[in-house]
Structure 1
Amino acid sequence: MTHILAIDQGTTSSRAILFDRDMRPTRVAQQEFTQHFPASGWVEHDPEEIWDSVVTTCREAAQGADIAAIGITNQRETTLVWDRVTGAPVYNAIVWQDRRTAEQCAALKAEGFEAQVTERTGLLLDPYFSATKLAWILDNVDGARARAEAGALAFGTIDSFLIWRLTGGASHVTDATNAARTMLYDIKSGQWDADICARLNIPMSMLPEVRDCAAHFGSTNLFGASVPILGVAGDQQAATIGQACFEPGMMKSTYGTGCFALLNTGEVPVSSDNRLLTTIAYQLDGKVTYALEGSIFIAGAAVQWLRDGLGIIDSAAETTALAQGADPAQEVILVPAFTGMGAPYWDADCRGAIYGLTRGSGPKEFARAALEAVGFQTRDLLEAMRADMQGQGDTVLRVDGGMAASDWAMQFLADINGAQVDRPTVLETTALGVAWLAGMQAGIYPDQAGFASAWALERSFAPQMDQATRSARYGAWKDAVARTLSR
């Protein structure tokens, strides 16, 4: 058994990546699925369509391979509730981007509940996280609360749902990184928090068992022979692992549908004074490593909007050439608050805006603005991280995700942040992270130190923008954000 199968269940598509004994991706299968927007600020997925996409891509990628173990990484916070007997979901998956519980969160904040939430979970009281999504399902789906209180329903993030299905209902489990994103898990004690569950009227019997990131989560017969699931991590933590950010002070930023920057803070959880999140980076052998995280809701999704919403591009790959041809005299700024603003603003009610339009503005300027918005938002995160760490920490940013393949976008990222940006040879770092977890647990991949030594640089981007221009451009961004925020 020489191969590891990584399931990467993302926000817009499901992928299965086959890794060989040398941790090289040898086969990739990908399938997009439908995004549902039933109301303003609502985002849903069909769980059955997700499951079908996972099965299809896994069978395509794994065909003919000897698979030693499976690793699973997933879009975090997305919330599902299903029947324990039939496995049938009681409602669509409510996606992490969904803002339907904004009013409930605001009411809980007004009661002073956020301080307790932050102290125990490291998170802010926001619709982004799973807890209020779960409460919404229980309160709004006919019969759901009574069935949940009777023990008939199970809650989980996408990883839990997939494991349940893969194991035929034998395993209702999750890992510490996904648990840490529910707003129901005490990241210091390593337990589900009874007080928060009680305040939100969530039966604790619905919650999965929490395990290390590298552990036995159950086995599946999906491929004929029984194959163990040995590695699980939420997508951003999986990328942190895949980037080998194992030392305190190391940073990574992943550019997918959203953008998420994590800074390893070691064995001690660091409380943020700048509205960042304190979270679990990974948990191995029962030992927790913590991180500061900044979450941007819209990164690659802005490019998807150019394609699907405006129809000005046919593929994401076109944006780089368009941006390069944009009029340098125009300063079009896109604040992509399509589902509110994440860190460090945390404004669930604001919506996207575009500033600086002229009669000459067109697809090229829109493409440049979409790519630049990622760099601007990343600087917001790094400024907050530097303040929380009092200037300590790495000055190099390791990047990954689909948008990291764009040289133009990565150069702007280095320019606007005044920081070195390092892109690894393997951009599939999210899948690589859980592949390593599973392979290490299976005994065919190296230990943590060996894995870190194998990290390889593909290209480094050094800042080329002068300080005056950098300050002026970032100042214009901050002004645009101030005009966009709802408060």
Structure 2
Amino acid sequence: MTAVIAIDQGTTGSGAHVLQSDGAFRSGATIDHKQFYPQAGWVEHDPEELVGNVARLIAQHKAGATGIGIANQGETVVAWDAKTKKPIHNAIVWQDARTHAEIEKLKAAGHEETTLARAGLPLDPYFSAAKLRWLLDNVAEAKTLRREGRLRLGTSDAFFLDRVAGQFATDVTTASRTSLMNLDTLQWDPQLAELFGVPIECLPEIRATAGDFGAIDGVPVAASMVDQQAALFGHGCRKPGDAKITFGTGAFALAIAGSKPLKNPKTGLLPTIAWKLGDAPVTYAIDGGVYNAASALNWARELGLFADFSEIETFDGCAIERGLAFVPALSGLGCPYWDRSAAGLWLGMGLETSKRDMLQSLLEGVALRAAQVIAAMDGLQPIAAKLSIDGGLANNGYFRGFLAKALGRQLTIPASLELTGLGCALFALIGAGLSTIDDLPQQQTGTLVEAAPFDRALVNRFADAVERCRNWRA
């Protein structure tokens, strides 16, 4: 019998996963969706396509299910009509940078101190609040619906839940990525809402990660969360210092912080919510993101630098030791810099530089940026000696070996690389009352990658390259 199904609604597609009552976990169907780039720096999805794919996957896999979990993209936002449930504009994706100018105005006015103190987040187009404000200012129907009391604003999960489960709600992990939720009260913050000009009455109710989110054709939706928090749970991270990095479109590191938020803006790390299970106290995390990981590799493939991933499994030596560095700042720099003015950069090229050299340095650059994030985390919350990774790049032998060296840590690569789906399913298992956090089914042990000696001077060389890429777009 199927215990629960998990839907992972991600940046490039949606996937279904099934967790059986005996602990067996398998992946089901996947559906890709279109990406829209209306202008430079703008990224959109069609909300109808997204919710249609979610509904289709649930319909295909719900037979015998006793619970459903839905993981979402995080900071991606939608505006829709409360009466018709129809979106009034394309979803604005987490990668989108259209609000850069407005964010800079808020920074210049000294408001970042407020967002850091109350939401735990810096001012950056990455987060949801400014995107929601953009919809209010630029979509005529948004103004009309607001006057009529019919406007709904929220992250993509709230739209899905309202549309398919009849619940206008979000969870604390997703709300913590908006810059509108107070990290201490776990409620929408009036001061932040006023700062960004987002009406609280248009926002969804904030609920626990595992709990009641309505039902779809009689099957309870028992969990809803950000995909990265689902992955954190799927990795088996449970105690302070446990950490994971997911190498997807970007590279996202999360570490368990414990029962209190760790706020230290100087580190460039983000205090956030790991999860909240029913009425139990919230568990906090620290978060650090690298905007470009697999997206940088896909970009290189589109440029014709390679055709098949088998071509980039092995390399001789080390590119950065030869003086060649790549900074994957194609969408700017995330943690710990939060600098959208930065640009992608190859440094140290000469007439002898080949395509393979460039690809090797690209893989190393993603790894070294991830190492910068983990180093920042370790200074705030000591990180365990063993770190778990997943995502497409975790399949690349050269990348994971170099990453282990750059981190100076042993890496665990779980048996299943669908950690977002697994974590989402485990949350749903708890939300449906079928298990507790202490009695979850055990998953297969993965493989280990041992750290090897690494000249720490190379870390400083890379840090110098990062500094050189900054302020290019200023």
TM-score normalized by structure 1? 0.91
How many Å apart are 1:16 and its aligned residue? 1.2
Instruction: Give the secondary structure class of the aligned counterpart of 1:350.
Output: coil
Choose which of 104, 114, 119 in structure 1 pairs with 2:117: 119
Q: Describe how 1:220-231 pairs up with structure 2 within 5 A.
A: 220-221=216-217, 226-231=218-223
Q: Deviations over 1:443-483 (max 9, x none)?
A: 43x321233x82543111121133xx3x2322221121111
> Matched residue of 2:346: which SS?
strand
Question: Are residue 247 (structure 1) and residue 239 (structure 2) matched?
Answer: yes
Change (3 A) 1:361 1:219: same
Deviation, structure 1 residue 325: 5.9
Match for residue 485 of structure 1? 470
Residues 325-376 of structure 1: CA deviation (Å, up to 9, x unaligned): 6886754322122221100010112221222223343432233223212211
Whole-angstrom CA distance in 2 between matches of 1:430 and 1:277? 20
| 1:459 and 2:447 are equivalent in the alignment | yes
Q: 1:149 to 1:384 in 2, by over 3 A?
A: farther
- 2:420 is aligned, of 426, 430, 433, to 430
Q: Which residue among 57, 64, 67 is the counterpart of 2:65?
A: 67
Q: How does 1:288-307 map to 2 (within 5 A)?
A: 288-307=282-301
* Alignment pair present for 1:448 and 2:437: yes
1:281 aligns with 2:274: yes
| CA apart distance, 1:77 | 0.3
- For 1:352 and 1:372, the matched residues in 2 are separated by 14
Amino acid at match of 1:311: G
Who is 2:327 aligned against? 335
Which of residues 380, 384, 392 is equivalent to 2:372? Answer: 380
Shift of 1:266: 0.5
CA contact (8 A) 1:149 1:203 kept: no
Asked whether the equivalents of residues 326 and 368 of structure 1 are also in contact (C-alpha less than 8 Å), the reply is no
**Deviation digits for residues 285-314 of structure 1 (CA, Å, limit 9, x no counterpart):** 33111111111111111122123x313444
Which residue in 1 is equivalent to 2:359? 367
Q: 1:332 to 1:29 in 2, by over 3 A?
A: farther
Paired with 1:344 and 1:266, the residues of 2 have a C-alpha distance of 21
When residues 34 and 370 of structure 1 are mapped into structure 2, their CA distance, relative to the original with a 3 A threshold, is farther
SS in 2 for 1:311: coil
Alignment pair present for 1:347 and 2:339: yes
SS at match of 1:68: coil
Q: 2:315 aligns with which of 324, 335, 346?
A: 324
Contact 1:414 1:463 in 2 (8 A): yes
Letter aligned with residue 50 of structure 1? L
Write the distance in 2 (CA, Å) between the matches of 1:413 and 1:87.
45
Whole-angstrom CA distance in 1 between matches of 2:90 and 2:58: 22
8 Å CA contact 1:29, 1:58 repeated in 2:
no
Query: Counterparts of 1:447 and 1:86 in 2: how far apart (Å)?
Result: 38
2:154 aligned residue (147, 153, 156): 156
Aligned length: 469
Instruction: Output one character per residue of 1:46-86: Cα deviation in whole Å (capped at 9) or x when no partner.
Output: 212222333344444x17x4111110111110111111122
Say if 2:277 and 2:431, in contact at 8 Å, map to a contact too.
Answer: no
Corresponding position of 2:457: 472
Mapped pair 1:414 → 2:404: yes
Normalising by the residue count of structure 2, what TM-score does the alignment of the two structures yield? 0.94
Gaps of at least 5 residues in structure 2 are none
Given the alignment, which residue of 205, 210, 215 partners 1:209? 205
2: CA distance, partners of 1:128 / 1:192: 18
RMSD over aligned Cα atoms: 2.0
CA offsets, 1:131-156, max 9 Å, x none?
00000111111242342243211112
Aligned partners of 1:250 and 1:38: how far apart in 2?
A: 40
* Conservation of the 8 A alpha-carbon contact between 1:23 and 1:436: no
Structure 1 residue runs of 4 or more that deviate by more than 4 Å after TM superposition: 325-331
Equivalent pair of 1:45/1:92 in contact (CA under 8 Å)? yes
Pair 1:172 & 2:171 matched: no
Q: Which amino acid aligns with 1:211?
A: R
The worse-fitting range, judged by mean Cα deviation, of 172-181 and 346-355 is 346-355
* Cα distance change of structure 1 residues 149 and 292 upon mapping to structure 2, 3 Å threshold: farther
Match in the other structure for 2:196: 200
Alignment-derived partner of residue 9 in structure 1: 9
Distance 1:149 1:110 in 2: 31
What 5-or-longer segments of structure 1 have no aligned partner? Answer: none
Matched AA of 2:89: Y
> For residue 96 of structure 1, what is the aligned residue in structure 2?
94
